[in-house]
Structure 1
């Protein structure tokens, strides 16, 4: 269950705030919920492939066993690009926190103060290894589930069914166009290149993938349908953070607590923290295992690297471009590469 929760928390990050807009922009119809379901099924298939690959080398992470398949130097290159992916992902999550926190919560607070405080808490967590990260995710996940279900029920008061009809009114091509962006929101199963090495029961890793992907898929579908049904296709496209706009549309007079978007931002910050911490840990682990250096030293060195990378995008548009770049990179690193490695025979007598 911890492995499943890690996958779910890793997936439910920045995308839940922007996915309705990016998917509708690509499809131009309300049928993106079909694209989300198809993307979820595709992600499950990729996750199972990655698990099957990892189980060929019990107790070893991708950083250790890849050179048994492709040799030392190519293995080092694969480890470098994989670790770099996780490092850039961590910097992307840190920058996303800065953008939203500055805009909705802490106006006027210096950007470096928001980012640095967030990152130091992450360092404190991952110094203890993968177990504390998994336990924090176990705490965060039930809270996220309750609040996302609350979103769905509250959305019924402003939901317009006509905004999501007709189903497949423009045929199936918009659904296929929507896959381009929805697939990028499902990057999560790549952590199974490493996590099975730490599982007490790695034979249950496939079940972890199924649970870990299908739960966020359900929340993605519910959130997108609720947002589109409330704001309409045109309304979603014109908003940078449509899910937050949905929460701001709720109005219940006489209730003491009125700023409902605060609930969403609270769970969103927790989810981002989970994704950031896990990405940070996996990037540091990759460098430590590939180059035989102390992992704690790597963590503190990467603190400066991730901090600087988080300030590389000049504005919000470049932040979204950074996210797209990560999504396309994941298609190569975590679909094409595992598929090729899976068909290669291991080298007998080789050591990681």
Structure 2
């Protein structure tokens, strides 16, 4: 069991780094295919309804302090039934790691290192991430802190630089095709919320009595990520128009190419830098959780050697699971949405633990 704890405010940095990569880069083409200029409406509705999910995560982090989700389930059901029940969760974390690594490699070789073999990018980036995981969760969090600060600051600068190129009237009229196109967007975004389960593999505590509460930090993260998600779908539409963005594989990459700062005509390196930094933390937290879960399955005191072995499996899987971007996109479009099941798990877990806690209190009163 890893006893290292992070503070409640650090959850904000981890969560924002983790969700912004999937919502700001990887899923945007899917959003545009399904709902076009109305994608932002589906995202807004998802976050509005998702308040309950974020509150549930805050409560679960508070209740489970001192234990990971894997450890608690094993204690409830015993090691064998616990392993069976948590196997889908471990596979889910591993699959999210594969999605992240492939997405990073594909974006990098498409926009920046076009002559570099995919295996070289995957291996070099993977080894850096595995070393980060080897150092521990506290280092992953520290990296995420400065990444989020830079991303939020530069995001404002980039938005301002592109403001004169944007025509938000291209988002009008809203819902001219009805509500049907935004329904899969809502479903897909709810699947993104399921990724937050990974934070139940981390100990989160309040540093002192006046520290921000678990629930409040999740609600703040909800608000910030809502802005990030909305910017990812409204910006490209306002610049390029609905029909053109549907032809882009990575709309963010095409958008930053328009930025000119005087000393450079294109800012591809900005997009690659942000994606690299964000993917670094995102892959780090999912790989950490997977390695830690497996070590707790088999009562192994140190997860670090599992980290390296599993890391090699991760690299190989990311290079062989998808033959090209079309297969990767097909997976994101048709299979990733099933992650909504894990969003449901968050709500169910919260309800079960709340019911059990009430029963214990009642018994204590007699």
1:295-314 alignment to 2 at 5 Å? 295-311=303-319, 312-314=321-323
Partner of 1:110: 117
- Given that residues 93 and 198 in structure 2 are in contact (C-alpha distance below 8 angstroms), is that contact kept between their aligned partners in structure 1? no
Aligned length: 345
Aligned to 2:63, what secondary structure does the other structure show?
coil
1:1-352 alignment to 2 at 5 Å? 1-28=9-36, 30-197=37-204, 200=207, 204-250=213-259, 255-293=262-300, 294-311=302-319, 312-324=321-333, 327-336=336-345, 338-339=347-348, 342-343=351-352, 345=356
5+ residue gaps, structure 2: 1-8, 361-366
Q: How far does residue 248 in structure 1 lie from its aligned partner after superposition?
A: 2.3
Q: How far does residue 276 in structure 1 lie from its aligned partner after superposition?
A: 0.5
Q: TM-score, normalised by structure 1?
A: 0.89
Aligned to 1:122, what secondary structure does the other structure show?
helix
User: What is the Cα-based RMSD across aligned positions, in Å?
Assistant: 2.5
Q: How far does residue 241 in structure 1 lie from its aligned partner after superposition?
A: 1.1
Q: Distance in 2 between matches of 1:58 and 1:180?
A: 30
Q: Distance in 2 between matches of 1:49 and 1:172?
A: 28
Q: How far does residue 71 in structure 1 lie from its aligned partner after superposition?
A: 4.5
Q: How far does residue 114 in structure 1 lie from its aligned partner after superposition?
A: 0.7
Q: Cα–Cα, structure 1 residues 343 and 320, in superposed 2: closer, same or farther, change >3 Å?
A: same
5+ residue gaps, structure 1: none
Q: Distance in 2 between matches of 1:7 and 1:105?
A: 27
Aligned to 2:239, what secondary structure does the other structure show?
helix
Aligned to 1:286, what secondary structure does the other structure show?
helix
> Per-residue displacement from partner, 1:256-282 (whole Å, max 9, x unpaired)?
122123212211111111101111101
- Given that residues 188 and 337 in structure 2 are in contact (C-alpha distance below 8 angstroms), is that contact kept between their aligned partners in structure 1? no
Q: Cα–Cα, structure 1 residues 330 and 70, in superposed 2: closer, same or farther, change >3 Å?
A: farther
Q: Distance in 1 between matches of 2:206 and 2:140?
A: 14
Higher deviation after alignment, 49-58 or 218-227: 49-58
Q: TM-score, normalised by structure 2?
A: 0.86
Higher deviation after alignment, 178-187 or 144-153: 178-187
- Given that residues 38 and 174 in structure 2 are in contact (C-alpha distance below 8 angstroms), is that contact kept between their aligned partners in structure 1? yes
Q: Distance in 1 between matches of 2:34 and 2:330?
A: 15
Q: Cα–Cα, structure 1 residues 337 and 157, in superposed 2: closer, same or farther, change >3 Å?
A: closer
